[in-house]
Amino acid sequence: MKLMLTGESITGREAFDMGLASECVPDDEVLNRALELADQIAAMPPLAVRRIKEVVLAGHDTSLEAGLMLERRTFDTLFDTEDKAEGMRAFIEKRKPEFKGR
């Protein structure tokens, strides 16, 4: 709350130490790390990524019970997708999955 009320600036390291950032990298590595993270996310099933973002954002404005119900419905929906089947096949076949967003 202090940061919001005072508008005080903090460093990336301070944000990380406070739990406001998930990692901290040197200035000269920021772009490379951001691109690595983008590649990691892009390699995931697009339907799941989209729904995760929606559920997390919706969770800010709902009760715990409603949030858990939303998570469950989302899981059930995603469990019945071609991408889930492809992910499981790829895991069994020890290869990278090729997600289609279906």
Q: Are 27 and 34 in contact (CB under 8 A)?
A: no
Q: What is the pLDDT of residues 38-79, one digit of tens each?
A: 999 999 999 999 999 988 888 888 888 888 999 999 999 999
Query: 1 pLDDT exceeds 90?
Result: no
Instruction: Assign 3-state DSSP to the chain and report helix, strand, coil percentages, each to 5.
Output: 65, 0, 35
Say what the pLDDT of residue 29 is.
94
Could you tell me the CA-to-CA distances from 17 to 12, 22, 27, 32 in Å, in that order?
9, 9, 17, 22
53 vs 39: CA distance, rounded Å? 17
Domains assigned to the chain: 1-42 (no CATH), 45-102 (1.10.12.10)
Say what the pLDDT of residue 61 is.
84
- pTM, rounded to two decimals: 0.69
